Amino acid sequence: MVAEIPSVTADSAYRMSLWSRLMTDRNFLGFWFMLPAAAVLILFLAWPLVLGIWLSMTDTTIGRPGVFIGLENFDWLSDDPVFWLAVFNTFLYTTVASIVKFLLGLWLALLLNKHLPFKALLRAIVLLPWIVPTVLSAIAFWWIYDAQFSIISWVLLKFGWITANVNFLGDPDNARASVIAANVWRGIPFVAITLLAGLQTISPSLHEAATIDGASGWQRFRYVTMPLLTPIIAVVMTFSVLFTFTDFQLIYVLTRGGPLNATHLMATLSFQRAIPGGQLGEGAAIAVAMIPFLLAAILFSYFGLQRRKWQQGGRD
């Protein structure tokens, strides 16, 4: 690319060759500047997306290219109780984890927005769970949830609140609660720190004015903080929902979908059928089944952004 730059001299100004005209043409230049990114994204993102939809309509297995079988995979999945269990789990996991993450994250953001000593340090510590690789923190949770040597069980036993070790990952309901708790632990920092950034843009004079008008703490939160925070909440929660919905790592490490498929999410089921199971077509069909929900989340985010535009007087 470097070789393409002609040296710009004074006399070249009136000898506008085709080349120098191209070098000032924004569409021509834009094409070349976009090329590296576009090549990677089209080749490894857009094309696989199309290929995935195609695969979901074939009976491809590992080592054997499949033939087109139409919607047979989806038809087969619609009769598969494990698939529907995974869909149910995914929704349960996403809904509960997102709501808890939002509430606790907002609370933490409000706390951090107070006048505190060591504020920068606190913020740095809070973000730590989000920085550390999910898989590695999930292994720490695996150890914390150990059936025999769980520290939580030990503490609860000491206090006399339970009589036997809690079977965190062996019992379907406990397992669901445990993976959701681990997901919430990892998700809170992201929600809290981004909402904190939003809170810091709210001028304190608005709160002062509301207080002078006789507003209570709750009223100030409800009628001053929340409306100003809504646009950023919409975006943050879309991201949060999106990444929780497609979560794979945490489940893979903690339970691999067990016990009795009680924690299988659509992503883990798709992996299990496609890679260890070898049924690439069926796995792709499960992945494709996630797309409508993702689209819904993206549309939600889009309207969240629209609202921000409107709130700021039409500026972009």
Partner 1 sequence: MTDATPQRATEPGVARDGPARRGRGGDEGEGMDYLVSLPRRVVTVYLPLLVFLFVLLFPFYWMVITTFKSNEELYDFKDFSPFWVVHPTLHNLHKLFFETHYPIWLWNTMVVSVVATFLSLFCAVCAGYAIERLRFKGSRLVGMAIFLAYLVPPSILFIPLSTMVFSYGLFDSKFALILTYPTFLIPFCTWLLMGYFRSIPYELEECALIDGATRLQILVKIILPLAVPGLISAGIFAFTLSWNEFIYALTFISSTTNKTVPVGVVTELVEGDVYHWGSLMAGALMGSLPVAVLYSFFVEYYVSSMTGAVKE
The footprint of partner 1 on residues 216-235 (CB under 8 A) is 232, 235
Placement of tokens 């933490």 in the chain: 108
Closest Cα to residue 244, out of 204, 187, 307? 187
Residues 245-274 that bind partner 1 (CB under 8 A): 246-249, 252-253, 267, 270-271, 274
Q: Tell whether residue 109 is a contact of partner 1 (CB under 8 A).
A: no
Please answer whether residues 123 and 116 qualify as being in contact, where contact means their C-beta atoms are separated by less than 8 angstroms: no
| Other CB atoms within 10 Å distance of the CB of residue 169 | 22
Q: Pick one of 16, 38, 162, 296: the residue that binds partner 1 (CB under 8 A).
A: 38
Distance CA 31, CA 4 (A): 14
Instruction: Annotate 18-43 with three-state secondary structure.
Output: HHHHHHHCHHHHHHHHHHHHHHHHHH
Please answer whether residues 243 and 294 qualify as being in contact, where contact means their C-beta atoms are separated by less than 8 angstroms: no
Q: Tell whether residue 139 is a contact of partner 1 (CB under 8 A).
A: yes
Residue whose CB is less far from partner 1, 175 or 269? 269
Q: Pick one of 19, 84, 154, 303: the residue that binds partner 1 (CB under 8 A).
A: 154
Q: Tell whether residue 313 is a contact of partner 1 (CB under 8 A).
A: no
CB of 260 to partner 1, least distance (A): 19
Give the torsion sign (CA, 180, 282, 74, 262): negative
CB of 26 to partner 1, least distance (A): 5
Q: Pick one of 175, 179, 193, 262: the residue that binds partner 1 (CB under 8 A).
A: 193
Q: Tell whether residue 128 is a contact of partner 1 (CB under 8 A).
A: yes
| Other CB atoms within 10 Å distance of the CB of residue 68 | 9
Contact range with partner 1 by CB under 8 A, out of 74-82, 92-100, 167-175, 241-249: 241-249
Q: Tell whether residue 114 is a contact of partner 1 (CB under 8 A).
A: yes
CB of 10 to partner 1, least distance (A): 8
User: Quick one: how many helices (H) and strands (E) in the chain?
Assistant: 15, 0
Contact range with partner 1 by CB under 8 A, out of 80-88, 94-102, 113-121, 171-179: 113-121
Placement of tokens 């004074």 in the chain: 10
Residues 46-105 that bind partner 1 (CB under 8 A): 46-49, 51-52, 55, 60, 104
Placement of tokens 């535009």 in the chain: 309
Q: Tell whether residue 23 is a contact of partner 1 (CB under 8 A).
A: yes
Q: Pick one of 19, 84, 143, 303: the residue that binds partner 1 (CB under 8 A).
A: 143
Distance CA 194, CA 200 (A): 10
Q: Pick one of 74, 76, 221, 243: the residue that binds partner 1 (CB under 8 A).
A: 243
